[in-house]
């Protein structure tokens, strides 16, 4: 009996080694996804950062051993399509579609060879005074550093819309925002839009189900946490990065956010 008991114990340990530990390790990978907006050298606002500060943050990440990976690689890990990510992986995203992405941000990202995902709402592209144009977006795509995804069609406040619309009108409104954004981005840029950033960080289970129905496989909030496999696919968090945060705060945030 003692022989069988020892044999069973050995087999059980082998089972744990082969199956349990890799799963546990995979679940512990945290991915900080940073969210930026506009750059302006002279008029920093609530969501506006100076190019100098943005470059300081990018340089610090590069100098301190962080691996800045494209969002699509992080998504592949979160969806179980790749086993792991490089140590201290981090993702850079930029919301809205400000012209400053082309004029100020692009040179910095090219200088440090940093991939970024732009979450665009198409309504203002080529029409807004301070917005990117479709030609600029295509040029950014050609650098190989910029991926483009959806921020809905017009950047609506879904909470306010729900208060003013009937239930049926609200459902139709939500689907138009999600579907029209994807359709226009796909047609104008020759891409297959798969990811979404929630405007104003507003989301709930209904909106998540609508996004899935519209063809999105992953969506992102601004819930100020690291993304990992414990979150729902259409409610993965990001950190909004602001000029008002000190550089020391930024460094501490990123260091802590990558801890496994």
Q: What is the pLDDT of residue 194?
A: 98
Q: What is the pLDDT of residue 28?
A: 65
Provide the residue ranges of all domains of the chain, joining segments of one domain with +. Answer: 1-28, 31-257
Return mean pLDDT, the chain: 90
Confidence of residue 46 (pLDDT cuts 50, 70, 90): confident
Q: What is the DSSP string of the chain?
A: -HHHHHHHHHHHHHHIIIIIHHHHHHHT--B-EEEE-EE-SS---TTEE-HHHHHHHHHHHHHTT-EE--HHHHHHHHTTSSS---TTEEEEEEEE-BTHIIIIIHHHHHHHT--EEEEE-GGGTTTSTTB--HHHHHHHHHTTSEEEEES-SS---HHHHHHHS-HHHHHHHHHHHHHHHHHHHHHHHT----EEE-GGG---HHHHHHHHHTT-SEEE---SS-B-TTS-GGGB--EE--TTS-HHHHHHHHHHHT--
- Helix 51-63 / helix 247-257 crossing angle, nearest 10 deg: 40
Phi/psi at 116 (5° precision) = -145, 150
Quote the CA–CA distance of 217 and 245 in Å, as a whole number: 32
Q: What is the pLDDT of residue 44?
A: 65
Render pLDDT for 158-179 as a digit per residue (tens, 0 to 9): 999 999 999 999 999 999 999 9
Render pLDDT for 231-243 as a digit per residue (tens, 0 to 9): 999 999 999 999 9
Confidence of residue 146 (pLDDT cuts 50, 70, 90): very high
- Res. 27: pLDDT tops 80: no
- Res. 5: pLDDT tops 50: no
Confidence of residue 32 (pLDDT cuts 50, 70, 90): very high
- Res. 71: pLDDT tops 80: yes
- Res. 19: pLDDT tops 90: no
Q: What is the pLDDT of residue 98?
A: 97
* Mean pLDDT, range 8-14, rounded to an integer: 41
Q: What is the pLDDT of residue 24?
A: 39
* Mean pLDDT, range 211-237, rounded to an integer: 97
Confidence of residue 203 (pLDDT cuts 50, 70, 90): very high
* Mean pLDDT, range 66-88, rounded to an integer: 96
CB within 8 Å of 67: residues ≥ 6 apart: 85, 86, 87, 88, 89, 90
Q: What is the dihedral of CA 4, 5, 11, 15, to 10 degrees?
A: 150
Quote the CA–CA distance of 50 and 132 in Å, as a whole number: 18
pLDDT higher for 149 or 20? 149
pTM, whole model, 2 decimals?
A: 0.88
- Res. 8: pLDDT tops 70: no
- CATH number for domain 31-257, candidates 3.40.50.720, 3.30.70.2610, 3.40.50.620, 3.20.20.370: 3.20.20.370
């Amino acid at each position: 009996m003692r022989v069988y008991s020892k044999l069973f114990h050995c087999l059980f340990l082998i089972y744990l080694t082969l199956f349990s530990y890799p799963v546990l390790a995979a679940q512990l990978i945290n991915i900080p996804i940073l969210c930026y907006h506009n750059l302006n050298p002279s008029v920093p606002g609530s969501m506006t950062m100076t190019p100098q500060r943005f470059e300081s943050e990018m340089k610090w990440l590069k100098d301190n051993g962080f691996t800045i990976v494209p969002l699509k690689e992080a998504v592949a890990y979160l969806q179980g399509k790749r086993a792991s990510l490089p140590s201290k992986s981090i993702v850079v995203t930029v919301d809205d579609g400000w012209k400053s992405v082309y004029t100020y941000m692009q040179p910095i990202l090219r200088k440090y060879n940093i991939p970024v995902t732009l979450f665009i709402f198409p309504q203002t592209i080529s029409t807004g005074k301070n917005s990117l144009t479709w030609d600029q977006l295509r040029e950014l795509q050609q650098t190989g550093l910029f991926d483009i995804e959806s921020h809905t069609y017009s950047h609506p406040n879904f909470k306010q819309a729900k208060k003013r619309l009937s239930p049926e009108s609200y459902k139709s409104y939500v689907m138009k925002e999600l579907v029209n954004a994807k359709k226009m981005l796909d047609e104008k840029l020759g891409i297959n839009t798969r990811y979404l950033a929630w405007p104003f960080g507003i989301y709930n289970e209904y909106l998540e189900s609508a996004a899935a129905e519209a063809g999105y496989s992953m969506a992102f909030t601004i819930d100020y946490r690291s993304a990992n496999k414990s979150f729902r696919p259409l409610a993965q968090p990001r950190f909004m990065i602001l000029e008002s945060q000190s550089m020391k705060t930024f460094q501490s945030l990123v260091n802590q956010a990558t801890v496994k």
